Amino acid sequence: MKTLIYGAGPIGRWLTLRMEQAGQDVTLLARNETYRSLEEHGIEIVDGLTGERLAARPKLVDRLDPEDRYDLVVVAMQKSDRLAVCPILAQNEHLKNILFVGNDVSGFHHYHDHLTDDQVLLGFPGVGGGWDGADLVVMDREKPHGHNGEIFIGELDGVTRQRTLKIRRLFEAAGIKVSIEMDIDGWLKYHFAFMAPTAGVIFMKGGDLRAVADDGEAIRQYCRACREAGNVLRKAGYHKRQPNVFNLYYVLPQSLEPLVFSKLFGSRNAEVRFGLHARTVGPELIELAEEFAVLRRLVGMETPDLDALLDYVPQRPAAEKLKVAS
């Protein structure tokens, strides 16, 4: 499949690099200074597990023209930016498969303003990382010889089609594990229920994950916040907690929470996946939290611990919301 990765942030670069390493026909769309930097230096990523420096020089473009042809477009941006490029995508009548990957709470109806159900799939990359100085550090494996990360994908109606399987084979050929979700909307909502308290407690401690690991009361508040968010979703009709690990917040005895989650937050995995990633995803959380607040009000529930943690998330400058990320 001829694939365009639309967006040259951490996830777009990671996905492009892994596909390029596998010899696939992949092109990365970047803009402005990002395009010029990638044209000169290529993609450089530090493997968060091994410290190895990975590099690739993929094909680059700085725009999508109406006559360009790609079998698959993967839009890897923060949510407001993904929605902002929909009119550009709609101008190209040849695009039949558009996979939007990233955080989402409000659902997929916003895409319908410009695109059809038949075009759109949703997904999420199961990797983490961010910028550590000039280095882009990504954690996509827990073992040196494991999969090159994981990606969750799903059709809007939950039906697995031939194209769904074809996209799965594409990613698997790059060593990326694929999970096809029957309810990708619910999966993304539960990811917020996990991700928002995680980022919030990290910001509460000034980005110091060791401080989180050493503070039993902060961990208890974190777990309460996860349960609050999960309870809202359950009352809203999302009964399957996704992924299954989210059930840990309910089945784990509360007396063991500090012990179990201290090990989690004190790990190298968390340092990269959560710590570095929080710097990148933090501003987007404000928008997502507003969407979740609408859902919370609809079901008539309060989330005091979640709200308290979200208060630590830095606000995104209003002008920045209007920019389309490169």
Q: Please check whether residues 170 and 241 belong to one and the same domain.
A: no
pLDDT, position 322: 31
Same domain, yes or no, for 163 and 220? no
Residues 40 and 164 in one domain: yes
pTM of the predicted protein model = 0.91
CA angle 159, 294, 309 (to 5 degrees): 105
Enumerate the β-bridge partners of residue 46. Answer: 53, 137
Task: Mark whether 291 and 194 lie in a shared domain.
Answer: yes
In whole angstroms, give the CA distance from residue 81 to residue 102.
11
- Which pLDDT value is given to residue 321? 35
Residue 316 has a pLDDT of 52
Cα gap 318→64, rounded to integer Å: 27
- The last residue of a domain, from among 132, 164, 182: 182
What is the reported pLDDT for 320? 40
215 and 311 co-located in one domain: yes
On whether residue 304 sits in a domain, the answer given is: yes
Q: Are residues 176 and 223 in the same domain?
A: no
**Which CATH number do you get for residue 178?**
3.40.50.720
Kindly list the averaged pLDDT for each block of 10 residues, start to end, along the chain of length 326. Answer: 96 96 97 96 94 95 97 94 94 97 90 93 92 91 83 96 97 96 95 94 94 97 97 95 90 95 92 83 84 96 97 63 34
Residue 326 covered by a domain: no
Q: In terms of domains, do 223 and 171 share one?
A: no
Establish if 233 belongs to a structural domain. Answer: yes
Range of the domain at 110: 3-182
Same domain flag for 207 and 156: no
Q: What is the number of structural domains in the chain? A: 2
